[in-house]
Structure 1
Amino acid sequence: MKQTLAIAAAAAAGVLLATQSSLPAQASTSSTFDSTSNPVLFVHGYTGDATNWNTMAGRFRTDGWPSSYLDQWSYDWRQSNATTAQQLSTEVDRLLTATGAARVDIVSHSMGGLSSRYYLKNLGGGSKVDAWVSLGGPNHGTDSANSCFDTSCTEMRIGSGFLAALNSGDETPGSPRYATWWSPCDTVINPDTSVSLSGATNTKTACLSHTGLFSDATVYAQTRDMINH
């Protein structure tokens, strides 16, 4: 009898262990990292740096993205966005070489959307980028840029020559998939309608601050699903 109970207990333990070991696979979805996922290049905004993305990059890692596929890139945010775009081009090539991937996904915050759009439109980036994301980007300018005077900041002013050229013709050129997220409570991007682009999937978020856009869990999940489609 004791031997029978021991055998039954061992069998039950084996079933439990098998169930526990299978949980991660069962919990995963088509939106998590797989063989078709691209490396992600994060582009911060004005006065930002690579650490802005710590929360979002951490969530990507939790969802299975290897650290080598998550590039929290930094640049001199005072320089022209056109200069940053040239440096971004070099970084994209470096990331593709390092990972062996064919294309990258770009996730940008605020002004980071301008240099990355310039790269797509003017520097051949369309063939190397699968999905492009703008979180609170001043894609048509913002009045908050009237109070700062770095070259990059003046380019964010409503009606600037930089934005006029960037938005001329097709706002979402080439084959990349474009998506934007904007918050009705973002006091940095004014007007709110500045973020949305013709030809992009434009999403209104909950009442989030400008910096809340890159730390919010819902925005993260939507961004992850969009780029990993």
Structure 2
Amino acid sequence: MRKPVIAALVAAVVLALQALSPAGAAGTSTYRSTSHPVLFVHGYNGSAQNWDTMVSRFKNDGWPVSHLDQWQYDSRQSNATTARQLAAEVGRLLVSTGASKVDVVTHSMGGLSSRHYAKNLGGGAEIDAWVSLGGPNHGTDTANGCLDASCYEMRIGSDFLTALNSGDETPGSPRYATWWSPCDAVINPDSSVSLAGADNRQTTCLGHNGLLTDATVYTQVRDLINS
């Protein structure tokens, strides 16, 4: 009678260990040894914690903590200043992980500094996949009501955006992708998000911050950067 009991206990322990593993109980890890570290860039008045839900999902899919960088910065300063700081953070992440490139996942205004980095500061050679979730890539009228340097740059027709969008909107070798929602009340017009030469995707009716936590958006982003 003891053997069946022992076998049942062993099976229970195995299941418990599987549940604690990064891949989860089903063993569905999608992380590969060739996967790049991911740098997450929040938006205006945001914080690194904005990414908690998405980062948790990456962890559950096998990404090690060392490869998930929830970066924090002063979102009131010029996006050009942030881009220089971003370049330093990418350099730090590459050294700490031994990777040759990073994937950059951005929300809202976070897309602007990272685009400036890619276009003007050599970032194009260090980014594999670049993702914009609800980015004001061509400006938004909601920026007309704030006065910070970065907010001025988000206004439609600003000097910063005019320069950023001049010529090729998706320069270099990165794989550019954007996600936009028809129910995003922060980015007006909706067409601001899409970039010429990018993989531009429409979501379901999500709010601006809903792009950060929606399970379908996460799966699409994960599959895109891991392809």
TM-score under structure 2 length normalisation: 0.91
In structure 2, C-alpha distance between the alignment counterparts of 1:205 and 1:28, rounded to whole Å = 28
2:167 to 148, 161, 169: 169
1:211-226 map, 5 Å: 211-226=209-224
Instruction: State how 1:51-200 maps to structure 2 within 5 Å.
Output: 51-200=49-198
Q: Who wins on radius of gyration, i.e. which is larger? A: 1
Q: Is this contact kept in 1: 2:24–2:60, CA < 8 A?
A: no
Residues 24 and 61, structure 2, Cα contact 8 Å, conserved in 1: no
Structure-2 change in CA distance of 1:12 and 1:214 (3 Å): same
Task: Measure how far apart 1:19 and its partner are.
Answer: 8.8
Aligned length: 223
* Structure 1 residue 6: Cα displacement: 7.4
List per-residue Cα deviations over 1:101-160 (Å, max 9, x = no partner).
110000000000000000000000011110000000000000000000100000000000
Runs of 5+ consecutive residues of structure 1 not aligned to the other structure: none
3-state SS of paired residue (1:102): coil
Using CA pairs under 8 Å that are at least 6 residues apart, name the structure with larger relative contact order, 1 or 2.
Answer: 1
Q: 2: distance between equivalents of 1:93 and 1:187?
A: 35
Q: TM-score, normalised by structure 1?
A: 0.90
Contact 2:54–2:218 (Cα < 8 Å) also in 1: yes
CA distance in 2, matches of 1:51, 1:17: 35
Does the aligned pair in 1 maintain the 2:47–2:72 contact within 8 Å? yes
1:27 deviates by: 4.0
CA contact (8 A) 2:183 2:205 kept: yes
Shift of 1:32: 1.4
Pair 1:203-2:198 in alignment: no
Hey, what's the Cα distance between the residues in 2 that align with 1:81 and 1:110? Answer: 12
What is the CA deviation profile of residues 38-63 of structure 1, one whole-angstrom value per residue up to 9, with x for unaligned ones?
Answer: 00000000000101001111111111
CA distance in 1, matches of 2:24, 2:42: 33
Identity of aligned residues (%): 68
Could you give the per-residue CA deviations for residues 59-79 of structure 1, whole angstroms, max 9, x where no partner exists?
A: 111111111110000111011
In 1, Cα distance between equivalents of 2:136 and 2:24: 40
State yes or no: 1:32 paired with 2:20: no
CA distance in 1, matches of 2:25, 2:61: 13
Q: Which runs of 5+ in 2 are unaligned?
A: none
**RMSD over equivalenced CA pairs, Å:** 2.1
